Structure 1
Amino acid sequence: MSEMAEHIVIVGAGAAGLMAARELACAGRKVTVLEARARCGGRIHQLPLSEFGYPAEGGAEFVHGEAPVTRGLLREAGLSLQEIEGEQWSFDGARLSREERDDPHEAELQALLRDLQDDLPVAEFLRRHFAGNDSASMRHSIERMVEGYDAADPERASTLALREEWMDGGHAPQARIDGGYGALVDFLVADCRRHGVTIHLGCVVSAIEEDGREAVVRCAGGDVHGCSRVILTVPLPLLREIALPASASARLAVTDDIGFGNVIKILLRFARPWWRERHQDLAHMTFLLSEQKIPVWWTQYPSQHAVLTGWFGGPRTLELDSLDPQGLIEAGLGSLAAIFKLPREDVAGELVAASATNWAHDPFARGAYSWATPRTRAAQAILARADGLVSFSGEALYRGPDMGTVEAALASGLETAGLILRR
């Protein structure tokens, strides 16, 4: 086999791209990674240690569920996990209280989900089975979870995928990586380079062409890379911005059947943990839910960092689309002031550092992560086919239970590399 026949170009140095690159390079393939950003990691984005006092995450933060690929990599890298502990609280507009997990309709919900054969959108499932006023709080809770946790639209989100992911037996424990996801990215990048992978940063791919049995990748800056195969690992919205060969382009129509959601994430570091001082009962608080403009907050508990992270996911993030990062920080401060019934200037006066990202505004993401509709599995099967010289990979193509996660991206990269090596 000639050198050209072995050369694989991977577009995107996020989790999927780096995982595929490492696997292919370890098998002796020549691999080049082209990354549009000035850094690796993609939607994993670690913030400066000097600003937040620990490796804070502007993007992906939690390890969800079993995550076997992630956990295997962490063992290799010598990194440890810390399970999320603590209490969940909520603010109902009048008072703060610990969240009660029991719902009188829970058993009925589990039974209906267990017996569900044909997929349908979550909102339609709720209208069909839980339309009464006595079910209103459960409907609201499920829709809030679909929007906030999955960044999905309840009118389109798959009920079967939701059952598979978290309704069937509840959520598996969540955890954080000691050192953050950035430490895992650093390990992957170092391992890629050790095995001979070339990584080019600041390279925005504009077109991919097929020339017989070879492919040509063109970058906006004029660079051209010849290779035998291309793996595209960019987020779904960016696929249509790259000119592709006809065989690959034809498959893109099905991406409309895969949901892609947005997240706004705000990190606020304060001089002291004033919320614990104001409410002694909040010493063990992890998550805090409300109906405020920024509806979800969490602490770093059991770590004692005086940081609150705000989260707003799903289609309603469009309501804040006009806000720049400073405007989002102001919205976050306003939400906290309302929840804790404090003057806004008191909360703002404690602020030491802040960061806010509307992932829809990120030019190389255009949103946060994917979610399943009733037609997603069929779309993924079409995209995953090894037709022509262009392959698709990434969290949106993962067919397991935790779509949209870093685990999904890593597993997809591994699977794509495996398919190429078996050809």
Structure 2
Amino acid sequence: MDLISDVVILGAGAAGLAAAASLSRAGLRVTVLEARSRLGGRVATLHDPVTDVPLELGAEFVHGEPESLRKLARRARLTVRPCNDTHALSWKGRFGDGAEAFRFMEALASAKPPDRPVAEVLQERARAERWSPLQVAMARAYVEGFYAANPDTASALAIARMETAAEELGGTTPSRVLEGYDRMLHALARPLLERPGTVFFNAVAEEVRWAAGEVRVRIRARQGVPLGQVRAKRAVVTLPLGVLRARVPEPGAVRFLPRLPEKERAWGRLEMGALVKVLLRFRTAFWSERDDTRRFGFFHGPSLPVPTWWTLSPRESRHLVGWAGGPAAEALSGPGEEEVLMRAVESLASIFRLSRRALHALLESWHVQDWQREPFTRGGYAVIPSGAVDAVEALATPVEGTLFFAGEATNTEGEEGTVHGAIATGERAAREVLAQVKQRG
């Protein structure tokens, strides 16, 4: 197929759909190319075939009260409810309330220039305030898990900006879309899907040839079959950072001709944080049947292979979700589902003080989502190393009024790694395109 469009958009995740929706409403012809066979990118919902409970393989929580997601929820008549945000902690054989171990949060938000690794900030505060070894361990685990980052290299200023942005948006208390997060993006995509010839699935962008005011994107199917090209005056690139950093001939890699040296430097200074999720369904919700565990929504074991777990609250279900980010996820990535399941059960056995044999006897089904092995994502979300905060803005800057960049890795407002942050960048890129159209036609 050979198509002509006003704007070609690479990727049908949150950023790509937001850009496409804005540009389409403005009257431009839009072509969206999506390598996968589905919408959403890192929003991927699997409906349990037995219980019909939506299970989130990627993005799971709504953080704070972002207006973009509130509007989508209202449009689609979706139910967004706060989760049980009480945290239990398992540490050196003891189990109990973990609230006191989270006293490090203020330290993360208070970092000042010059930039340095967040671990240094935490170490200073730990010495000055005489933190316990548990608090130190939890602070590191939080940076690794919540930000998918290595504390020894991650930017203290970037994390402070993200913590501040979260507080201004209503805090980090999570909420859940009870019908499934994918329903949010389907509401965004519906007008596009109703217009034939707008969104193309199984359409892998492999080469972007460009000159000022002209773009040609060569595409193929995942099976390797050539599909022709899309010609447009402009392109919005919403590919994940992990894909931008990939090099031809690695699966999913895209070649830009001519090359983009400033962009290459920008995405080379950033990192793609590792992320592994483990979704388990049990015969009974045993955690809700025990006096010592029933009141908690989150369970932490900072030294364990899968260090963070949560229920599907406010839904009642027989599922637990395990989460590993950063170094913990890197350690889990690659060995295969059976090995990850073994480590996940080992972690749960330690937290709940049950034998692995007992947990296996209770286990009905499992799914391991290793985002590093997804060729069109290559990780969880962007991580900003110390000294690289300016690389985010460099990545977001348009090129000669022709190439525009969006996606959570280009969010300069402290909302990297979030769905609402990705949507905001798609809308920003659309405004930049429309300004160029108005100026040059």
Separation (CA, whole Å) in 1 of partners of 2:40 and 2:211: 31
Q: Find 1:281's aligned residue among 284, 292, 316.
A: 292
Matched, 1:405 2:389: no
Task: Provide Cα deviations, 1:312-333, integer angstroms capped at 9, x if missing partner.
Answer: 1112322223321232222212
Question: Which residue does 1:232 correspond to in 2?
Answer: 237
Separation (CA, whole Å) in 2 of partners of 1:372 and 1:386: 20
Question: Which residue does 1:59 correspond to in 2?
Answer: 58
Seen in structure 2, the aligned counterparts of structure 1 residues 365 and 168 have a Cα distance that, compared at 3 Å, is closer
Matched, 1:218 2:218: yes
- 1:17-416 equivalences under 5 Å are 17-101=16-100, 109=107, 114=110, 116-131=112-127, 134-135=130-131, 136-166=133-163, 171-194=171-194, 198-210=198-210, 213-220=213-220, 221-223=225-227, 224-240=229-245, 241-246=253-258, 248-277=260-289, 279-290=290-301, 291-388=303-400, 389-416=402-429
For the Cα contact (< 8 Å) 1:30–1:197, is it kept in 2?
A: no
TM-aligned CA deviation for residue 352 of structure 1: 1.9
Question: Does the residue aligned with 1:89 lie in a helix, a strand or coil?
Answer: strand
TM-aligned CA deviation for residue 148 of structure 1: 0.8
Superposition CA RMSD, Å: 2.4
For the Cα contact (< 8 Å) 1:81–1:176, is it kept in 2?
A: yes
For the Cα contact (< 8 Å) 2:84–2:313, is it kept in 1?
A: yes
TM-aligned CA deviation for residue 155 of structure 1: 1.7
The residue type paired with residue 415 of structure 1 is R
Task: Provide Cα deviations, 1:197-224, integer angstroms capped at 9, x if missing partner.
Answer: 6111111111000256321101133221
Seen in structure 2, the aligned counterparts of structure 1 residues 115 and 296 have a Cα distance that, compared at 3 Å, is closer
TM norm structure 2: 0.87
TM-aligned CA deviation for residue 179 of structure 1: 0.8
Question: Does the residue aligned with 1:280 lie in a helix, a strand or coil?
Answer: coil
Matched, 1:418 2:423: no
Q: How many residues align?
A: 416
Task: Provide Cα deviations, 1:129-186, integer angstroms capped at 9, x if missing partner.
Answer: 4347933433322211110111011122222222232379964321111212111122
The residue type paired with residue 297 of structure 2 is T
Task: Provide Cα deviations, 1:282-328, integer angstroms capped at 9, x if missing partner.
Answer: 22210000122111110112322010000111123222233212322
Seen in structure 2, the aligned counterparts of structure 1 residues 184 and 121 have a Cα distance that, compared at 3 Å, is same
Separation (CA, whole Å) in 2 of partners of 1:186 and 1:235: 20
The residue type paired with residue 257 of structure 1 is R
For the Cα contact (< 8 Å) 1:88–1:98, is it kept in 2?
A: yes
For the Cα contact (< 8 Å) 1:258–1:375, is it kept in 2?
A: no
Q: Which structure 1 segments of 5+ residues have no match?
A: none
TM-aligned CA deviation for residue 250 of structure 1: 3.7
For the Cα contact (< 8 Å) 1:33–1:197, is it kept in 2?
A: no
Further displaced range: 307-316 or 97-106: 97-106
For the Cα contact (< 8 Å) 2:208–2:217, is it kept in 1?
A: yes
Seen in structure 2, the aligned counterparts of structure 1 residues 66 and 121 have a Cα distance that, compared at 3 Å, is farther
For the Cα contact (< 8 Å) 2:9–2:31, is it kept in 1?
A: yes
Separation (CA, whole Å) in 1 of partners of 2:244 and 2:51: 34
For the Cα contact (< 8 Å) 1:22–1:195, is it kept in 2?
A: no
TM-aligned CA deviation for residue 103 of structure 1: 7.0
Seen in structure 2, the aligned counterparts of structure 1 residues 70 and 104 have a Cα distance that, compared at 3 Å, is closer
Separation (CA, whole Å) in 1 of partners of 2:393 and 2:105: 33
Further displaced range: 172-181 or 126-135: 126-135
Matched, 1:12 2:11: yes
Seen in structure 2, the aligned counterparts of structure 1 residues 262 and 105 have a Cα distance that, compared at 3 Å, is closer
- Counting aligned pairs with the same residue, the percent is 30
